[in-house]
Amino acid sequence: MMFNFKHLSQVEESYFVHLKFNLWVSGMVLVLSIVSFIHAFLPFLFPRYPYRLKKHLYEKSLNREKRVVKLLRTKSLEKEDQ
């Protein structure tokens, strides 16, 4: 489904909580992209930073995904095998 106007209530978040997290993710992805691009040409700059940044983004997103999937399953909105 492309549009889900009940999404915020289904994941039990306010508009601003959802906005804050997704702006943070998009900012992190932008920073990761820029840092990785620079590191590709100048490997002595940011030697471990792209990896650490990606790991932080992944862990925070995974924790959030686990919470949301569990919540959606309790509401029978998410299938068990996904």
Counting every residue written for the chain, the total comes to 82
Q: What confidence category does residue 80 fall into, taking pLDDT thresholds of 50, 70 and 90?
A: low
As a whole number, mean pLDDT of residues 45-55 equals: 90
Q: Are 50 and 35 in contact (CB under 8 A)?
A: yes
Q: Rounded to whole angstroms, how far apart are CA atoms 61 and 81?
A: 19
List the Cα angle 11/58/34 in 5-degree steps.
115
Q: pTM for the complete prediction? A: 0.74
The residue among 5, 21, 3 whose CA lies nearest residue 60 is 21
